[in-house]
Amino acid sequence: MKKLIYNPLLHFLFIGILLFLIYYWVKPSQSGQDKIIIDDEMVARSISLFKNDWGRPPSGEELEGLIERQIRLEVLYRQALKLNLDHNDELIKRRMEQKLNFITNDLATIKEPSEDTLKAFMLRHGDKYKIPETVSFVHIYINPEKRKEARQEALAILATLPKQDHSPKEKTILGDTFSLLQVVDDMVRKEIASQMGDDFADSLLKTPVGIWHGPLLSGFGLHLVYVKNHTPAKEPVWATVRADVLRDYEYEYAEMINEKVYQDFRKQFKVSFILTDSTLLKTGIDKKLGN
């Protein structure tokens, strides 16, 4: 018996059993991580997505395939996390950012603001909701690529035009063919500038109503213009813009909450820069953004 007690092999076996028991007692349970739960919500979501795609509910066999697909997705997703495959994946980071913003947007949901609050918001944003000024005009186009003395010819045509013209659109034939409209009704400055350039739009808005004037310069060439009507910008009717103001107010409020949440999160992290690029170092970005 004494020989058995002092046998090294027995000691080794005893220690091995003891270590195994200790490991079994203290090792964290993996059951929660390895368990995949298929609940009513998941099945209903799968059925809803199938209906949206196919316009009908799935058959029994199709539903089995949908559930198996969800199980496969969950298995591979969890295994990918174990392998750290989400690390430094830009698409995953952006998707997580988007989902977190959705959560903070829900937090930013507030009761509808008062009319006074919305009207004050509208006033703070200046001209955004104003009815923009518009111009109705006719122009004679002078193409400098077809006329060697384009400006002189434009002035010569201008000298033949009546001071008060009751049929200005008939005079467009005195110039060259133009690819865009030559008779324009109630066009806003932004659209005029997009077609003819900012300089032309600014000059046109300063042109007197009811007389031929020019030549004005655009990206196309020269133009003799007759402004038929100039309607200045005016304040909107509240009922017509209220919905837009409310939408913009809620969007701005949500953006403010998102930024506040981000700044709170940002304080929890220390940002360190390890830069060797001299161009980047000259910008001082490490000092501006580092903690």
pLDDT of residue 269: 66
CB 236 within 8 A of CB 125: no
Beta-carbon contacts of 225 under 8 Å, excluding residues fewer than 6 positions away, are 137, 138, 139, 140, 204, 207, 212, 213, 214, 216
Mean pLDDT of 168-185: 89
The H-or-E segment that residue 138 falls in is strand 134-142
Mean pLDDT of 64-86: 80
Asked if residue 166 has pLDDT above 90, the reply is no
Asked if residue 77 has pLDDT above 50, the reply is yes
Each residue of 237-254: pLDDT tens digit?
A: 898 899 999 989 888 888
CB 224 within 8 A of CB 207: no
CB 152 within 8 A of CB 214: no
pLDDT of residue 41: 82
pLDDT of residue 155: 93
Mean pLDDT of 69-83: 79
Decide if domain 132-231 falls under CATH 1.10.260.40. Answer: no
CA distance 112 to 289: 37
Model confidence at 9, pLDDT cuts 50, 70, 90, reads: low
pLDDT of residue 290: 67
CA distance 116 to 50: 46
92 backbone dihedrals φ, ψ, rounded to 5°: -65, -40
Mean pLDDT check: name the lowest of 22-26, 57-61, 99-103, 150-154: 22-26
CB 223 within 8 A of CB 73: no
Each residue of 187-207: pLDDT tens digit?
A: 998 899 999 999 999 999 999
CA distance 23 to 29: 11
